[in-house]
């Protein structure tokens, strides 16, 4: 999902407790953690496509995680990267392209499901078995259409999944990716979502300024804090208004040390104060079955996994401790 700045991480890990969140939190899970498909499950399915989202939900995902930026037309586009180069057959930044240009792209062009490097550009052509479906050169799998393999807008994803919770991360979309751009994208997203009646969305960003600006414009939408908001919470103050969940990695390498962010103590404290705890994977964290079982035992409320199909099998076999409830 995101990368923490080392200095901010150091602050986060040495500071203490926080102010209570208050009211009951719908995101705190009593029975089992949420299976949150990161980018729709980018190790199992082509990243941030409707095909991936549909397959992830069918496999058991409870929630979808996706990334957004704003294109040249002011449309909210679902894509993880700043440029279209890494995942599609196109070139250039998301911000430089019209919606018509983006819709011509093959969003599964570089996805090689059988390879360890799923999005490497040097595999044999046969490794990219979804390539060409978006453009009609190859037939879509049964039950899907070429549109499921193109770059979607957030509006399209929300329409396709009206009853599936969605986690929306605000990204920058030019090479500089400065704070002002994140704030601008937050404003565009807020205009899109503030009229929505949906209450199953969480919005987050690495940049706390973007989170704060979004909340000012769309205060009814739930939030996870940026890095500074998390640091404030661990520093005995509020992470900010509208925050319902912390979305953090498990560990982080800093100064030659492996620092533990997700611990039984931190998860329990968050729950006492009314916040949910959701994980993503960074650095040396392993997105695999032993790690998933350990997180379940720590009573986390959700895991953003790139392998929602495999994670669902672990969830069914490994029951949550009674102490979590």
Q: What is the mean pLDDT of the chain?
A: 90
Domain count within the chain: 1
Residues 6+ apart with CB under 8 A from 273: 18, 19, 20, 21
pLDDT for residue 159 is more than 80: yes
**If we measure between CA atoms, which residue out of 324, 297, 291 comes closest to residue 310?**
291
> What pLDDT, on a 0 to 100 scale, did the predictor assign at position 261?
84
- Domain annotation covers residue 17: yes
Model pLDDT for residues 186-211, shown as the tens digit of each residue? 999 999 999 899 999 999 999 999 99
> Do 187 and 216 touch, CB atoms closer than 8 A?
no
CA dihedral 181, 183, 184, 188 (to 10 degrees): 140
pLDDT bucket at 119, cuts 50 / 70 / 90:
very high
- Domain annotation covers residue 138: no
> What pLDDT, on a 0 to 100 scale, did the predictor assign at position 15?
39
pLDDT for residue 19 is more than 60: no
Three-class DSSP category at 28: coil
- Domain annotation covers residue 103: no
DSSP code at position 321: P
Q: In the numeric block, which tokens belong to residue 190? A: 């807020």
* Domain ranges, residue 57: 6-86+152-318
Separation in Å, CA 193 to CA 215, 222, 227: 11, 11, 23
- Domain annotation covers residue 125: no
- Domain annotation covers residue 215: yes
Q: How does DSSP assign 94-145, residue by residue? A: GGG--HHHHHTS-TTTT--TTSSSTT-SSS-GGG-TTTTTTTTSSPPPTT--
- Domain annotation covers residue 142: no
- Domain annotation covers residue 252: yes
CATH number, domain containing residue 54:
3.20.20.190
How many alpha carbons lie under 13 Å from residue 251 in its C-beta half-sphere? 13
pLDDT bucket at 173, cuts 50 / 70 / 90:
low
Other Cβ atoms closer than 10 A to 24: 7
Model pLDDT for residues 67-100, shown as the tens digit of each residue? 999 999 999 999 999 999 999 999 999 999 999 9
Q: Are strands 251-254 and 257-260 parallel, antiparallel or unpaired?
A: antiparallel
- Domain annotation covers residue 114: no
């Amino acid at each position: 999902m995101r990368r923490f700045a080392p200095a901010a991480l150091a602050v986060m890990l040495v500071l203490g407790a926080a102010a209570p969140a208050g009211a009951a939190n719908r995101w705190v899970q009593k029975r089992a953690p949420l299976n949150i498909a990161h980018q729709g499950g980018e190790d199992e399915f082509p990243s941030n496509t409707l095909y991936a989202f549909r397959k992830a939900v069918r496999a058991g995902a409870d929630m979808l995680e996706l990334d957004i930026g704003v294109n040249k037309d002011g449309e909210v586009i679902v894509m993880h990267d700043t440029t279209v180069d890494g995942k599609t057959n196109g070139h250039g930044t998301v911000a430089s392209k019209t919606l018509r240009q983006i819709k011509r792209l093959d969003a599964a062009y570089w996805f090689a499901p059988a390879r360890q490097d799923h999005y490497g550009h040097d595999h044999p052509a046969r490794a990219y078995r979804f390539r060409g479906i978006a453009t009609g050169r190859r037939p879509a799998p049964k039950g899907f259409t070429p549109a499921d393999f193109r770059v979607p807008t957030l509006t399209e994803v929300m329409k396709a999944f009206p009853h599936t919770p969605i986690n929306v991360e605000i990204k920058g979309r030019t090479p500089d990716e400065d704070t002002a751009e994140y704030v601008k994208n937050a404003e565009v997203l807020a205009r899109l979502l503030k009229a929505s009646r949906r209450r199953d969305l969480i919005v987050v960003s690495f940049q706390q300024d973007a989170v704060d600006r979004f909340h000012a414009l769309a205060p009814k939408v739930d939030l996870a804090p940026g890095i500074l908001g998390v640091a404030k919470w661990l520093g005995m103050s509020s992470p900010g208004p509208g925050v319902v969940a912390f979305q953090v990695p498990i560990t982080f390498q800093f100064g030659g040390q492996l620092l533990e962010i997700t611990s039984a103590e931190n998860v329990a404290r968050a729950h006492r104060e009314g916040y949910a705890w959701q994980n993503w994977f960074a650095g040396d964290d392993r997105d695999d079955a032993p790690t998933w079982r350990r997180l379940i035992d720590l009573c986390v409320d959700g895991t953003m996994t790139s392998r929602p199909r495999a994670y669902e099998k672990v969830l069914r076999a490994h029951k949550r401790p009674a102490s979590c409830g």
